[in-house]
Amino acid sequence: MLRNKKLSKRIYFNSLRIRMIELEISKRYHEQKMRCPVHLSVGQEFLPGIIETFFDKNDKSVSGHRAHAHYLSKKCSLKKLIAEIYGKKTGCSGGIGGSMHLIDKSKGFYGSTAIVGNTIPIGAGISLSMSLNKTNKNLTYIFLGDGAVETGIFFETLNFVVLKKLPCLFICENNSFSVYSELRKRQPKNRKISKLVSSFGIKTDSANTTHLNDTFKKFSKAYNYVKKKQMPYFVEFHTSRKLEHCGPNYDDDLNYRDKNFLNYWKKNDPVEKLEKTLLKKKYLSKTEILSFKSKIQGEIIRSFNYAENSKPPKFEDLNQNLFSK
């Protein structure tokens, strides 16, 4: 990745954009105009920044509660995202879904959900339809966190996709914590998620997102494998969120995360690390960074203005998009 100037700059821009969007949501959340919970991706932007560069609207995605970055990686509308968080009719889910229920089928983003693991089988179903149709070589991204690995539906889905040889790419963002509970308090000692998954007969890999080139290579390898072979693949990406599990604040004063853990991720923040590397390689100048930030900030302001000036849904709108009444 870092040998390609244009690609590296694009990934940096994508990652920076997601971070600035999430930080603005965090900043404005206290205004009480966003009346839904938010699970922000500050600290976890680098991987979605990479995924955007592989954009194909015919590839599908499903996600969980921390879905903003995944939605944005599929080039879905920022205006509709902010409007949805504001509960406005112009939101991507008509203002009745909120932060955890995002969708944009036109870009291949088939939904996110508040229930841990709930979209994992949905992603498998989408992959099954692709396999049955055999019209093109596309795939389904199934985004999940380390907590979803503890659900029964995860293992049932793994068995199904391996049995049916389905074109799905499992992307596990392992940030080591489920709310306040560290991984070692929830799963057996020395267990490696990627190794556990491999026992199902599925190709697996893992990467630490502080290792920039390795993260890109591991994702690229997995993506190209699923595209070409139309077979499932699982990649575990180690990452870390900067803010609280749910909400706009920093909560490290609660001391549930070890200081060494926090210091490691602070020192090795992937977005900051990428910026420093690009400056050192002279792929990027400080003037360009300011230009990027100005462009992104302008888009953010327009999106928040759009949301604030939009109308809320009407009561009868609740009956729309139902399978049965």
| Residue 204 lies inside a defined structural domain of this protein | yes
| Residue 321 lies inside a defined structural domain of this protein | no
d(CA 127, CA 6): 32
- Any residues with CB less than 8 A from the CB of 117 and at least 6 apart, and which? 64, 144, 148, 151, 153, 154
Provide the whole-model pTM.
0.96
Q: Which residue has the tokens 């009956």?
A: 319
| Residue 318 lies inside a defined structural domain of this protein | no
* CATH classification at residue 257: 3.40.50.970
| Residue 320 lies inside a defined structural domain of this protein | no
pLDDT at 27: 98
pLDDT at 51: 98
Q: How many domains does the chain have?
A: 1
d(CA 7, CA 49): 11
pLDDT at 323: 63
pLDDT < 50: residue spans in the chain: none
| Residue 272 lies inside a defined structural domain of this protein | yes
Q: C-alpha distances in angstroms, 105 versus 58, 88, 110, 140, 282?
A: 10, 19, 5, 13, 39
Q: Which residue has the tokens 């994702």?
A: 219
| Burial of residue 10 (number of CB atoms within 10 Å: 0-12, 13-18, 19+) | middle
pLDDT at 256: 96
| Residue 32 lies inside a defined structural domain of this protein | yes
Domain that holds residue 17: 5-313
| Residue 322 lies inside a defined structural domain of this protein | no
pLDDT at 271: 98
Give the strand order in the sheet containing 233-238. Answer: 109-112, 60-63, 140-145, 168-174, 233-238, 203-208
- DSSP line for 146-176: GGGGGSHHHHHHHHHHHHHT--EEEEEEE-S
